Amino acid sequence: MSDDAADAFTYNGGRVDPGETANIRYGISETYLGDPVRIPVTIINGEHAGPTVFLSAAAHGDELNGIEVVREVAHEWDLADLRGTLVCMPVLNVPGFLAQQRYLPIYDRDLNRSFPGREDSTSAKRMAHRIFTNFVEPCDLGIDLHTSTRGRTNMLHVRADMADDDVSRLANAFSSNVIISSDGPSGTLRREASDAGVPTITIEMGEAHRFQRRLIDRALDGVRSVLAEYGLLAQEAVSWPGWRTVVEDNDEKTWLRADAGGMVDMHFECGSLVHEGDRICTITSPFKEDNTAVEAPFTGVLVGILENPVVYPGNPLCHLVELDEPTRRALERDQTPTAVDAPANA
């Protein structure tokens, strides 16, 4: 990029010149009535040259926390000295958002398995294509914000392909305690964007159907830190989260599953440190007898837990991530105990 001559941001149908901000509603499909389905996009092109970064949320229509993160960056931050361009897309999956559900209502398609999309394919892939070609491919990096699936919650963490140096730089810059590394399923925005040369990470934060202020603030800190790392906000500093663990993703294995049906009494909050042998939760019967204790098989941090307290055998209870000794000590220094009523056995 040349010294300080910022470029216009162009998309199919418009341009945003340096020093300009545009709020647009961009058509990505049509309803049964032939009306446009349009996503809100705010493009903030700084007066000074710099990288182009996209922020997106609600690729799953009921995952709301990220929407507020994107809106606050776009509309509440002072970006007068921005070096580069921000492409802010608070609601990618508009039909899912309107229905307050995860998937696109038509055939229950997952928009976040439909990238990079195709112009002449299914409705989901056409929508993905319009988003991808206009607002993702022109960027230098991206952050896609999600929450846990309905009925569960997770602590704020990053999902990123740490084997990719460019993605790893971005993931580290976000300043979260936990990074879960994998290249991600094909069709996800982060994987397809990264494969197309736009390093992208996913942020997981909290529950669906909520605005959770504490998590939103933490994610805003992460975005600020990323924009500092890449020079978009020269006055800000890259932050260090205090402790960090990078976990290789072995998917389902790290989810502890119920071996009995029942109602779950959870003894720890999401984000807590639990020691090997701690009773994480108890699966109780209607008579509160023959209860099943679920103990931590190793020492780690509870990255995710169920919120809806009813389980069949095989249902996930919690996502426990193992910690090495130095990380555990750092977390103990960092964290005041958040156990609700944990038995003191560690």
Binding site for Zn ion (CB under 5 A): 60, 63, 146
C-beta closer to Zn ion: residue 101 or 284: 101
CA-to-CA distance for 285 and 69, rounded, in angstroms? 40
C-beta closer to Zn ion: residue 103 or 135: 103
CA-to-CA distance for 107 and 101, rounded, in angstroms? 13
Cβ-closest position to Zn ion: 146
C-beta closer to Zn ion: residue 102 or 328: 102
Please, what is the minimum distance in Å from the beta carbon of residue 259 to Zn ion?
28
Please, what is the minimum distance in Å from the beta carbon of residue 186 to Zn ion?
16
Please, what is the minimum distance in Å from the beta carbon of residue 146 to Zn ion?
3
Q: How is 71-110 classified by DSSP, letter by letter?
A: HHHHHTS--TT-EEEEEEES-S-HHHHHHTSSSBTGGGB-
C-beta closer to Zn ion: residue 81 or 108: 108
Taken in order 116, 121, 127, 131, the sign of the CA dihedral is positive
Report helix, strand or coil for 113: helix
- Identify residue 175 by its one-letter amino acid code: S
Could you tell me the two tokens for 306? 């169920």
CA-to-CA distance for 11 and 153, rounded, in angstroms? 36
Please, what is the minimum distance in Å from the beta carbon of residue 149 to Zn ion?
7
Please, what is the minimum distance in Å from the beta carbon of residue 59 to Zn ion?
6
Ramachandran region, residue 262 (left: φ > 0; alpha: ψ -120 to 50; beta: rest): left
C-beta closer to Zn ion: residue 52 or 114: 114
The length of the chain, given as a count of residues: 346
Please, what is the minimum distance in Å from the beta carbon of residue 102 to Zn ion?
7
C-beta closer to Zn ion: residue 63 or 192: 63
Question: Looking at residue 252, what DSSP letter applies?
Answer: G
Could you tell me the two tokens for 197? 């040369």
